[in-house]
Amino acid sequence: MSGRRLRTRFTTPPRELVPEEEEKSIQLTTPQRSAIFAVFYFCQQQQIPCNKRDVHGVFKYPSSTQSDVLKTGRCRRLQNSDEPDTRGALRQMTNADANAIATYIDNCPFEEKSDPWKDLAERAGVVKEYRDKENLDFDTQTIQKHVTAVSTIKTHKAVVKEKHTPKQQQQRYEWCILMLELRPHGRQWRCVLWCDELHWMTGPKYQKGVKRRSGDPARYDPRNIQYEKDHKPDPDTQDHFHIYTVLGYNFAWCMPYNTGNKNGKMNTETYINIILPALNKYLLEIGGEWILWQDCDSAHISKKTLNWMDINGPDYINSSPKSPDLSIMETWVSPLKRKFYERRCPSQKAGVDRFYKVWNELKPERINQTIDSYPARLHACKNIYKGLATKY
């Protein structure tokens, strides 16, 4: 009788060949384990010499495998066997599986929400580990696609909020109270201008997102591959430019500036000698009484800057520390950048031209709505968030 025929025949050893201690455990479930137990027990009962080397010579089971099966006394499937998998086809992913993963993601700690899809699916009790063959119905792409289809959950950049110390929280809380006492109605904020410095980068992107057909042939087509030498940014091809921007009610003004450093950090000299004089000149041309809202950047609140503004104007409001959510200008930064980066800009000049085009496409009526509802933002920070970072 050949080894293959014997392994097929002994699915479970005859009851009289099962040791008493084995009867108390669960039944044998693999042909390999059954054969090992049957051979060794038969030799023992017939008092025939038998060793693992002889068994390996006939059945090709490694000695270590024989030892493990006999020692553990539990069901075990030989991982290196070339026998057909008797467990049947791998289970396919269902809508119930996808909903279970979505539910787990909804309720898991934030730290886990960026983990790989397979890890999240396993924690949700869905994915099983298949060591001998890959289950394509539970690969990363399929899991993500199925979960997105049933729940709209997919990978996004996380919203970043400022983390405030108790002192900063109290300062923000008190600032909101003061501002609401001075200007409780939205129309009273129509004379306020919110400013900010925006920083932009042009030139080739790092890793490109290419448009191509699906499937490995197109994926590995030489025409669609970005090679390692082109993967990292070349500093010589990257241009940076910086824009000082101001938004108000039916008001939009901006000005490129250069402080001599690549990151565009504003300094006092540039602010009081270039930016503020140019803004003052424009305000005088259009007329009206305006108040400039400033964040707590060192160049905005330096003693030299405040002295200059006290003498030359305009009037100003200094925001509470770490309060981008209280700036109307900050509200429009994301839409501006999203629109800006829809097109590639190969140079600084092209980048500046593109910025002006995007800037001029801002809709004044929508900006005006955010200003008229500004007291609601202050009330939310004061009453709902108690001075902590808000959704704005």
Distance CA 206, CA 120 (A): 29
Residue 389 lies in a domain: no
For the chain, give the mean pLDDT: 81
| pLDDT at position 243 | 96
- Mean pLDDT for the stretch of residues 265-275: 95
Measured in degrees and rounded to the nearest 5, phi and psi for residue 317 equal -125, 125
Number of domains in the chain: 3
Kindly state the average pLDDT of the residues 219-243: 66
Band of pLDDT at residue 234, cut at 50, 70 and 90: low
Q: Are 99 and 150 in contact (CB under 8 A)?
A: yes
Q: What is each CA distance from 153 to 101, 122, 146, 280, 350, in whole angstroms?
A: 10, 17, 10, 48, 36
Confidence of residue 28 (pLDDT cuts 50, 70, 90): very low
Domain presence at residue 36: yes
Same-domain status, 213 and 362 = yes
Number of C-alpha atoms within 13 angstroms, CB side, residue 178?
Answer: 11
Predicted local confidence at residue 84, as pLDDT: 52
Q: How confident is the model at residue 227 (pLDDT cuts 50, 70, 90)?
A: low
Out of 194-208, 267-281, 359-373, least confident range: 194-208
Position 278 pLDDT exceeds 50: yes
pLDDT score of 80 = 44
- Asked if the structure places residue 173 within a domain, the reply is yes
53 plus 101 within the same structural domain? no
| CA–CA distances in Å: residue 266 to residues 117, 243, 302, 327, 356 | 42, 10, 12, 18, 20
Mean per-residue pLDDT, 193-209 = 78
Same domain, yes or no: 63 and 178: no
Q: Answer yes or no: is 82 within a domain.
A: no
Question: pLDDT band for position 81 (50/70/90)?
Answer: very low
Average pLDDT of the segment spanning 76-104: 68
Q: Is the pLDDT of residue 286 over 70?
A: yes
Mean pLDDT computed over 325-343: 90
pLDDT at 232: 52
φ, ψ (nearest 5 deg) of residue 83: -70, 150
Q: Is residue 374 part of a domain?
A: yes
pLDDT of residue 167: 94
pLDDT at residue 237 in the model: 59
Q: Is the pLDDT of residue 244 over 80?
A: yes
pLDDT of residue 295: 95
Tell me if 115 sits within 8 A of 70, measured CB to CB.
Answer: no
Residue 292 reports pLDDT greater than 50: yes
Residue 37 sits in the same domain as residue 102: no
pLDDT at 346 over 70: yes
Most trustworthy range by pLDDT among 132-146, 345-359, 370-384 = 370-384
With 60 as the cut, is the pLDDT of residue 74 above it? no
Which pLDDT band holds residue 49 (cuts at 50, 70, 90)?
A: confident
Determine the structural domain holding residue 35 and report its residue range.
3-72
How would residue 27 be classed by pLDDT, with cut points 50, 70 and 90? Answer: very low
57 within 8 A of 46, measured Cβ to Cβ? no
Does 109 share its domain with 11?
A: no
- Whether 99 and 234 map to the same domain: the answer is no
Please report which residue ranges of the chain form alpha helices under DSSP H. 3-9, 20-23, 31-46, 52-59, 63-72, 95-107, 117-123, 140-151, 166-182, 216-219, 268-270, 276-286, 298-301, 303-312, 328-331, 333-340, 348-360, 364-372, 374-379
CA–CA distance, 227 with 236 (Å, rounded to integer): 19
| Pair type for strands 239-248 and 291-294 | unpaired
Same domain, 243 and 370: yes
* Residue 31 and residue 62 in one domain: yes
The DSSP annotation for 111-168 comes to GGTTS-HHHHHHHTT-----SSS--GGGSHHHHHHHHHHHH-----PPPP-----HHH
Is the residue at 79 inside a domain? no
- pLDDT at position 12, please? 46
Q: Are residues 11 and 46 in the same domain?
A: yes
Does residue 51 sit in the same domain as residue 180? no
Average pLDDT value for residue range 211-219: 70
CA distance 301 to 306: 6
Residue 266 has pLDDT above 90, yes or no: yes
Overall average pLDDT of the 173-184 stretch: 97
Higher pLDDT, 331 or 8: 331
Tell me the chain's radius of gyration from C-alpha atoms.
Answer: 35
pLDDT at 41: 78
Domain assignment present for 356: yes
pLDDT score at 50: 82
Residues 176 and 124 in one domain: no
pLDDT exceeds cutoff 60 at 271: yes
Q: Are residues 106 and 65 in the same domain?
A: no
Asked, for residue 367, whether it belongs to a domain, the answer is yes
